[in-house]
A and B are shown apart, each in its own frame.
Chain A
């Protein structure tokens, strides 16, 4: 090691230390020049920092992730769990919203016709291997649901209660091949028998061969004696095709059922019907076309410039 510095070196060292102390004193006394120097340096550095941030920030985050690997993994797990929980809540919420919408529509329908109904949730779909089309609902004899009662949804006829248990009931759907219901055409009041076909379409066979059907006719339930198994006036579907085969004894038609049986979640069992037949009061309203605004633009050629 060196034994010591010369006088020039000592003078330099002392001068530098004094300068540093002088700077500290100036800064602590709040001299604006010092603050200005810092601000100026930051202003000069900021473009470099912006460019570097653009280029190196992803890499910087990578290093950050590496150094915090354990914590990051824990955070990811926690966020995944929270995300799963939120997704489940969202699904539940969507499900509840859909059920609420169905319930509202079925109550609207029942309210219009003044049916007294018991709401029920679909808790099971029938086995398709037996070729029957049924559902199980969570309302039974304890809720006033009995055999041969009409089951409706917000869109129309769902089916009929075949068997009623204390807390549940088996419902035969309109689509069941063995399902038959007395029907009438809204407006013309022609009557016939509608049979399920195992699909979303049913077949209507008119009883009177003097009348005619046309596409778009709305089919309603005709109603049974003492309103069982069917209450009158429940919408069933709409005629989509008419069979006018020559020589046929009676006219038949394909009917597109209103109810979407694959999306059933809430239904209502009509436990009593009004004394007065609602007639065509439940016929769904035809959709009103939304007017589309048109914009007309008049274009005029500009005057040609003078030569």
Chain B
């Protein structure tokens, strides 16, 4: 079942990845803008089981590692996204109060984006990457939280509708 869902999700994620890399990157937004792909992956993970969330994170992380803008070694995003996907879906799995409330889902995704980036930063530091000035890091983290909170509500209905259509699960909010 995991493999079937994974391969069904793959074209969608590839499409969103192309959209992110070719279209979203054209917009010069405050603080570096947002990652449509990251928000999409986290929302997608939040609607599934923890195992499916981890698998989703794995696929999404692999694609993010293939991006030219990825500064770390191949696998860094994969590792982080596995844990992020698992955690986000684990938090809401079986809790209808959580999944039925879009605000909590949006808040979780916005917070997760910041946490993921902080972990990526720390892991990058451990692996010897340069992170730039502290101020730019803070501005980037703050803006990513802001943009995620702004974009996630717009993306949420789309994600839930696709998820419901593909997997016939009552996850629509």
**Known interface pairs A1-B91, A56-B23; A12-B55 also in contact (CB < 8 Å):** yes
Cβ-based interface call for B22 (8 A): yes
Q: Inside 8 A of A45's CB, which chain B residues have their CB?
A: 18, 21-22, 68
Structural contact, B23 and A52, CB atoms closer than 8 A: yes
Q: How far is the CA of A27 from the CA of B71 in the complex (A)?
A: 12
**What bracket does the count of chain B residues touching chain A fall in?**
35 or more
Cβ-based interface call for B94 (8 A): yes
Structural contact, B27 and A59, CB atoms closer than 8 A: yes
Cβ-based interface call for B2 (8 A): yes
Cβ-based interface call for A263 (8 A): no
Structural contact, B78 and A20, CB atoms closer than 8 A: yes
Q: Inside 8 A of A13's CB, which chain B residues have their CB?
A: 50-51, 54, 82, 86
- In the complex, besides A23-B65, A37-B66, A59-B26, 9 extra interface pairs with C-beta distance below 8 angstroms are A12-B54, A19-B78, A23-B75, A24-B76, A26-B74, A38-B70, A41-B68, A48-B18, A53-B22
Structural contact, B94 and A48, CB atoms closer than 8 A: no
Structural contact, A48 and B28, CB atoms closer than 8 A: no
Q: How far is the CA of A60 from the CA of B28 in the complex (A)?
A: 6
Q: Inside 8 A of A22's CB, which chain B residues have their CB?
A: 75
Contact with B along A1-41 (1 / 0, CB 8 A): 11001001100110011011111111110000010011001
A-B contact pairs, 30 of them (CB 8 A): A1-B93, A5-B51, A9-B49, A9-B51, A16-B55, A16-B57, A16-B78, A16-B82, A20-B61, A20-B79, A20-B82, A21-B75, A22-B75, A23-B65, A23-B78, A24-B75, A28-B73, A38-B65, A41-B68, A45-B18, A45-B22, A48-B21, A49-B21, A56-B23, A56-B27, A59-B27, A60-B28, A63-B29, A64-B27, A67-B29
Cβ-based interface call for A61 (8 A): yes
Q: How far is the CA of A45 from the CA of B26 in the complex (A)?
A: 14
Q: How far is the CB of A15 from chain B (nearest CB, A)?
A: 9
Q: Inside 8 A of B57's CB, which chain A residues have their CB?
A: 16
Structural contact, A24 and B73, CB atoms closer than 8 A: yes
**Known interface pairs A9-B51, A23-B75, A38-B68; A28-B127 also in contact (CB < 8 Å):** yes
Among residues of A, the one whose C-beta sits closest to the C-beta of B73 is A27
Q: Inside 8 A of B55's CB, which chain A residues have their CB?
A: 12, 16
